[in-house]
């Protein structure tokens, strides 16, 4: 299937938005605590998406019989991923957090082998080995630094595992709801959880003290990361081949690492570049479809 120029443009936009989001989140944490950041941006994003999909004519109702299943799916996909990733990001350079978080496709494939009996192939082994190499390189660097944070590495792997488990749960759960509605209601439930956790554990923020760039960073999270990027993702999943989404996911950690220099002043080191290369190989092995041999 050939991609139209418009599709290529949207794919590039999606990759840039998700990649740049990592240093933008890191910037926000200078003025806002992690749980309140998630609560604010996720609430705004869920409301924005709800209104947009309603306007598009999507049935956004949450049937009574589906509420428990949606809440169950929200635990790993929203609460687990977004909680552990923002806590890990608070302790790591944003480029490193992005690389570690995007080990998710690898753990998805590995969990499928362990839990659902999928076949362990050479590609899976290569994917796991490359992902472990990326984690090992960054873990060694954090342990070697006086101010390093190996706990941040662990938190990002918990985030990736949560996202991977949630992905498998999504595949195996059948709901009589559009995917857009499931996602928005998971976000709404997750946002409610973050509000409760933030109110219980973090001091109330003072929005009057926020700088102009801070407001811009929050707007980025709501309008682009949770908003437009999600709309593009849903449309891309319907129209484009799986390889397109795989290439987009592969590029996100690279964009996050490179853009961090301009946004938060983080300069990647040789180990960061090596880890990014490893995770690119890992995602490619996990997600890119196998070419079928043409009969001669």
- Asked if residue 292 is part of any domain, the answer here is no
CA distance 174 to 189: 19
- Asked if residue 239 is part of any domain, the answer here is yes
pLDDT at 146: 46
- Asked if residue 233 is part of any domain, the answer here is yes
Number of domains present in the structure of the chain: 1
Domain that holds residue 145: 5-203+215-287
pLDDT at 143: 65
- The torsion angles phi and psi of 237, rounded to 5 degrees, stand at -60, -30
- Asked if residue 293 is part of any domain, the answer here is no
Spell out the residues 6+ positions from residue 205 whose beta carbon is closer than 8 angstroms to its own: 32, 33, 36
pLDDT at 134: 81
Counting Cα atoms < 13 Å in the Cβ hemisphere of 161 gives 8
Spell out the residues 6+ positions from residue 82 whose beta carbon is closer than 8 angstroms to its own: 38, 42, 159, 190, 194
CA dihedral 150, 22, 160, 228 (to 10 degrees): 170
- Asked if residue 11 is part of any domain, the answer here is yes
pLDDT at 294: 46
Spell out the residues 6+ positions from residue 166 whose beta carbon is closer than 8 angstroms to its own: 73, 75, 76, 77, 78, 80, 81
pLDDT at 296: 46
Counting every residue written for the chain, the total comes to 296
- Asked if residue 208 is part of any domain, the answer here is no
Q: Are 116 and 167 in contact (CB under 8 A)?
A: no
* pLDDT tens, the chain, 296 aa long: 556 777 778 888 888 999 999 999 999 999 999 999 999 999 999 999 999 999 999 999 999 999 999 999 999 999 999 999 999 999 988 888 988 888 887 788 888 888 877 777 787 788 778 878 888 877 776 666 645 578 888 999 999 999 889 888 988 888 989 989 999 999 999 999 999 999 999 999 999 999 999 999 999 999 999 999 888 887 776 666 655 666 667 788 888 888 998 999 988 888 888 888 888 887 777 666 665 554 54
- Asked if residue 295 is part of any domain, the answer here is no
| Range list of H helices, the chain | 5-28, 34-55, 67-74, 81-89, 94-101, 104-116, 122-144, 150-172, 179-201, 212-219, 229-239, 242-264, 270-287
């Amino acid at each position: 299937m050939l991609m139209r120029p418009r599709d290529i443009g949207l794919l590039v936009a999606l990759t840039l938005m998700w990649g740049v989001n990592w240093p933008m989140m890191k910037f926000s944490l200078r003025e806002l605590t992690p749980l309140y950041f998630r609560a604010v941006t996720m609430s705004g994003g869920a409301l924005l998406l709800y209104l947009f999909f309603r306007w598009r004519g999507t049935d956004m109702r949450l049937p009574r019989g589906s509420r428990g299943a949606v809440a169950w799916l929200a635990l790993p996909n929203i609460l687990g991923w977004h909680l552990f990733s923002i806590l890990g990001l608070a302790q790591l350079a944003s480029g490193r957090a992005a690389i570690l978080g995007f080990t998710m496709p690898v753990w998805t494939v590995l969990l499928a082998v362990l839990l659902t009996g999928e076949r362990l192939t050479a590609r899976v082994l290569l994917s796991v080995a490359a992902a472990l190499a990326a984690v090992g390189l960054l873990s060694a660097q954090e342990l070697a630094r006086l101010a390093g944070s190996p706990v941040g590495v662990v938190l990002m792997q918990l985030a990736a595992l949560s996202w991977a488990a949630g992905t498998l749960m999504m595949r195996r759960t059948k709901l009589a709801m559009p995917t857009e509605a499931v996602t928005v209601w998971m976000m709404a439930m997750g946002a409610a959880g973050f509000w409760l956790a933030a109110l219980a554990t973090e001091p109330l923020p003072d929005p009057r003290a926020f700088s102009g760039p801070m407001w811009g960073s929050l707007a980025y999270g709501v309008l682009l990361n949770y908003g437009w990027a999600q709309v593009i993702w849903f449309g891309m999943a319907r129209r484009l081949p799986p390889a397109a989404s795989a290439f987009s996911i592969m590029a996100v950690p690279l964009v996050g690492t490179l853009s961090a220099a301009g946004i938060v002043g983080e300069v990647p080191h040789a180990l960061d570049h090596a880890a990014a290369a490893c995770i690119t190989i890992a995602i490619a092995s996990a997600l890119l479809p196998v070419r079928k041999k043409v009969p001669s």
